[in-house]
Amino acid sequence: MKIRPLHNYENPPLDLLLLADPSLEVVNSYISRGHCFVAERDRQIIGVYVLIDTRPQTVELVNIAVLAQEQGKGIGKKLVLHAIETAQSMGYKTIEIGTGNSSISQLALYQKCGFRIIGIDRDFFINHYQDAIYENGIQCRDMIRLSKNLSEEG
């Protein structure tokens, strides 16, 4: 598997991006201003992530997704670690990520990769998404915000 930037002439893998964010409108809003990277195996895109500039010296990992049949193989962790390395190489001091309160495995993964919870946006998914989102039998209501200082180890 290799991870590379999405080329300008390539269409973003919307099917994958919509796995992590069900709003096409939201995905289109950040894909146009972000840095998109794809994971490939045998010329097939099996994973994706997007980084966007948010504030000076800060970048946000706004979408990370892996094909359903490829999940559970460590690809998500490799994508998160690649995003951290990429952000460091681009000169950012902080990388942030947000995920739903119902995204149990994602919360665990991000913390294993060194992210710390810094806040909660109450009712984020209620206010910003037309349809209710359920995951792990839990309604996704709140955005859990996490951050990693890129000058720290681990």
pLDDT tens digits for 89-108?
999 999 999 999 999 999 99
The model's confidence at residue 152, banded by pLDDT at 50, 70 and 90, is low
Q: Distance (Å, rounded) from C-alpha 122 to C-alpha 116?
A: 18
**Residue 154 included in any domain:** no
Report pLDDT for 154: 44
**Residue 7 included in any domain:** yes
How many domains, in total, are found in the chain? 1
Q: Containing domain of residue 111, as a range?
A: 2-149
Q: Specify the CATH number for the domain of residue 109.
A: 3.40.630.30
The model's confidence at residue 21, banded by pLDDT at 50, 70 and 90, is confident
| Nearest residue to 85 via CA among 153, 27, 10 | 153
- Taking the whole predicted model, whether its pTM rises above 0.95 is answered as no
Report pLDDT for 42: 95
Report pLDDT for 131: 86
Report pLDDT for 130: 84
